[in-house]
Chain A
Amino acid sequence: GQNIDQPTEMTATEGAIVQINCTYQTSGFNGLFWYQQHAGEAPTFLSYNVLDGLEEKGRFSSFLSRSKGYSYLLLKELQMKDSASYLCAVRDTTSGTYKYIFGTGTRLKVLA
């Protein structure tokens, strides 16, 4: 079957670096996405990985290892506005069409 795991909650201090991990199991992997969702708002796209390695976008970076079924989102120079839930999503083709499978999200609290 398909499964995505990520920690439920994390806490970090303003200015610090935090790494949010995501592990997945699927036989039809076709890309991994990270989204940010502030409380009461819609998810917004952060990053995309389909090949192994690190993708950097300003303060945010995302890493993928397909052989390990593992990704992480790295947030540097944390700001209070980074307090949000971070959703890991895998695009899967096991059913013959593209489907997006989401993890339950990691709620990040940034403390002053």
Chain B
Amino acid sequence: DVKVTQSSRYLVKRTGEKVFLECVQDMDHENMFWYRQDPGLGLRLIYFSYDVKMKEKGDIPEGYSVSREKKERFSLILESASTNQTSMYLCASSLGTGASYEQYFGPGTRLTVT
């Protein structure tokens, strides 16, 4: 079974702090994604990566950056956390981008910025 793990289930940070969210997948997937999920807005793509050291902006990249130094690990960085970044953050991976390659999601990190 594919396993996607995220470093924390719950996180509380203060405004202005630098925040690191880690995601690891164990199935040698090429593609990794970071989403945030907010009530009434659904899942919105922040950044994605199709290869090591490669990254592309999603729909809402402002205030975030990412790092993919190893294939299995994709990190989301909040450079200076703000209260409007309080959300559920979901990481996902997929084998490829064609055909029926579905995304496998991690359990999520609920981040609260105070």
Using a CB–CB distance below 8 Å, which chain A residues touch chain B?
A: 31, 33, 41-45, 48, 50, 87, 89, 91, 97-105
Contact = CB atoms under 8 A, between A and B. Distances in A.
Interface string B47-58: 010100000101
A102 B104 contact: no
Nearest to A31: B100
Contacts of B105: 42-44
Measured as residues with beta carbon below 8 angstroms from the partner, the interface class of chain B is: 20 to 34
B97 A48 contact: no
Interface of B: 4, 33, 35, 40-45, 48, 50, 56, 58, 90, 97-100, 102-108
B2 to A, nearest CB: 10
Enumerate the 10 nearest inter-chain pairs by beta-carbon distance, A residue then B residue, closest first. A42-B105, A104-B42, A45-B102, A98-B97, A102-B43, A48-B100, A102-B42, A43-B105, A42-B107, A105-B42
Of A42, A45, A102, A104, most B-chain CB atoms within 10 Å: A42
A48 B97 CA distance: 13
A87 B42 contact: yes
A50 B101 CA distance: 12
A31 B98 CA distance: 9
Contacts of A103: 42
B102 to A, nearest CB: 4
A100 B42 contact: no
Given A89-B43, A100-B103, A101-B45, 20 more contacts: A33-B102, A33-B103, A41-B108, A42-B4, A42-B105, A42-B107, A43-B43, A45-B102, A48-B100, A48-B102, A87-B43, A91-B97, A97-B56, A97-B97, A99-B45, A99-B58, A102-B35, A102-B43, A102-B44, A103-B42
Nearest to A48: B100
Contacts of B45: 99-101
A99 to B, nearest CB: 6
Given A97-B56, A99-B58, A45 B43 contact: no
